[in-house]
Amino acid sequence: MDVMKKYRDAIQKTIQSRGVDRNNRLDAAIDYALVSGGKRLRPALMLAVLDAYGLPWERYVEVALSVEFVHTYSLVHDDLPAMDDDALRRGVPTTHIAYDEATAILAGDALLTDAFSLIVDASVLSDAEKVRLVQILSLHAGSKGMVYGQMLDLLYEGKPVGQDMLEAIHLHKTAKLIEAPLMMGAVIGSPSDVSAWEKVGRLLGLAFQIQDDVLEVTSDESTMGKSLSDERNEKSTYVKLLGLDQAKALIGDIFLELQETIGTMEINVHMMHSVFDSVRKRIN
Ligand code: GRG
């Protein structure tokens, strides 16, 4: 069984039980972006870390949702005409197509802002934990993190990019928001392990992005549920840089390094291996 399913299901249930005012256009657009498909990878990773430390992960689903809010905002904004200009996301029309551009911008703004309320309002967290989680999530999402990666990504569209720059783009654009939930789980589970989880997130984020580059050429829009627009947007990818076979080999190397990295940690290592396997096997 997919070890991530129980976390994904809990996250989906919490998303669906949020009160939505259908007469409120902003609320409806936020719900539209959130509720549709989506692997829920990032919040599931936070719950998996808690579980790996033997903590009652079910109590932290709302906290983990904060990362899904930030991720969903980034997808809504990334799809806008000023960015990748995509029409399909999570198997449905992108938010600016289903609503309009201004509403999509505001829905993204609201998701980003509300993410931090989810942390601050969580009674399961101590005040010190809240501060640390807000610090990690904001640092990883903001001008030194994912948004910086998006800026680099746009600046290098159509330009030749070497492996160092490609890695810098993806370490920021993708890996930062995969590091964050792992580190957030560690803040609660074992604060002295936070930097070890940062390394795990860096590796997992990179592997995830290379996989995404591979799937961009080996899969199709209906399987992926999103527009595949790297070619149109002249994006640099690992497949273009290394070729398909070497890109796949690099993914394998990174997963081996991941297993080694968690091997010495005092966690349920077996369970985390299953988590990595489920990420590795993703087809969507
Ligand atoms: C607009 C500030 C801003 C940032 C955008 C997330 C992002 C940064 C861009 C999306 C485009 C892209 C290919 C990003 C790389 C990370 C990635 C593969 C995102 C898609 O994540 P999944 O596959 O999506 O986990 P689901 O829909 O399953 O949640």
Contact, 40 vs 7, CB < 8 A? yes
> Cβ atoms within 10 A of the Cβ of 243, count?
11
The span from the CA of 158 to the CA of 236, in Å, is 8
The residue whose CA has the least distance to atom 15 of ligand 1 is 174
Beta-bridge partners for 89? 92
pLDDT tens per residue, range 120-163: 999 999 999 999 999 999 999 999 999 999 999 999 999 989 99
pLDDT tens per residue, range 82-115: 999 999 999 999 999 999 999 999 999 999 999 9
Q: What is the DSSP string of 149-163?
A: HHHHHHHTTTS---H
Q: Provide mean pLDDT across the span 257-284.
A: 89
Give me ligand 1 centre to Cα 132, in Å.
Answer: 24
Q: Which two tokens stand for residue 153?
A: 């990504």
Please check the confidence at residue 226 and state whether its pLDDT lies above 70. Answer: yes
Q: Is residue 75 lining ligand 1, measured as CB closer than 6 Å?
A: yes
283 band by pLDDT with thresholds 50, 70 and 90: very low
Using alpha carbons only, give the angle 256, 198, 58 rounded to the nearest 5 degrees.
95
| pTM for this predicted structure | 0.95
The span from the CA of 11 to the CA of 259, in Å, is 26
Please check the confidence at residue 1 and state whether its pLDDT lies above 90. Answer: no
Determine the pLDDT at residue 219.
Answer: 87
Q: Is residue 111 lining ligand 1, measured as CB closer than 6 Å?
A: no
Give me ligand 1 centre to Cα 21, in Å.
Answer: 27
The span from the CA of 132 to the CA of 127, in Å, is 9
Determine the pLDDT at residue 284.
Answer: 41
Determine the pLDDT at residue 236.
Answer: 86
Q: Provide mean pLDDT across the span 45-59.
A: 98
Ligand 1: nearest atom to the Cα of 83: 1
All structural domains of the chain, each given as residue ranges with its CATH number in brackets, are 5-273 (1.10.600.10)
Q: Which of 44, 41, 21, 43 is nearest to 31 (CA)?
A: 21
pLDDT tens per residue, range 170-204: 999 999 999 999 999 999 999 999 999 999 999 99
pLDDT tens per residue, range 10-22: 999 999 999 999 9
